[in-house]
Structure 1
Amino acid sequence: HPHTNLEGNYTRVNEFLLAALSPSWQSQAALFVVFLLVYTATLAGNTLIMLTVTSDPRLSTPMYFLLGNLSFLDLCYSTVTAPKMLMDFLVEKRSISFDACMAQLFFLHFVGAAEMFLLTIMAYDRYVAICKPLHYPNIMNRQLCSWLVAASWTGGFIHSTVQTILTMRLPFCGPNKVDNFFCDVPPVIKLACTDTYVIELLMVSNSGLISSSCFVILVTSYATILVRIRSPEGRRKALNVCASHLTVVTLFFGPCIFIYARPFSTFSVDKLVSVLYNIITPMLNPLIYTLRNKDVKSAMRKLRSRETISGGKVDM
Structure 2
Amino acid sequence: MDTQRPPLALTMGEPAGIGGEIAAKAWSVLRQEGPAFFFLGDPALLPGVPHRRIASPAEAAAVFPEAVPVLPLDLPAPVTPGRPDARNAAPVIAAIEQAVALARSGAAGGVVTNPIQKSVLTAAGFRHPGHTEFLAELAPGEGPPVMLLAAAGLRAVPVTIHQSLRSAIARLDAALICRIARATAAGLRRDFGIAAPRLALAGLNPHAGEDGTMGTEDRDIIAPAIATLRAEGIDARGPFPADTLFTPHARAGYDVALGMYHDQALIPVKTLDMAGGVNVTLNLAVVRTSPDHGTALDIAGQNRADPGSLIAALRLAAQLADHRRNQAA
**Which TM-score applies when normalising by structure 2?**
0.29
Normalized per residue, the structure richer in strand is: 2
Instruction: Judging by fraction of residues, say which structure has more helix.
Output: 1
Q: TM-score, normalised by structure 1?
A: 0.30
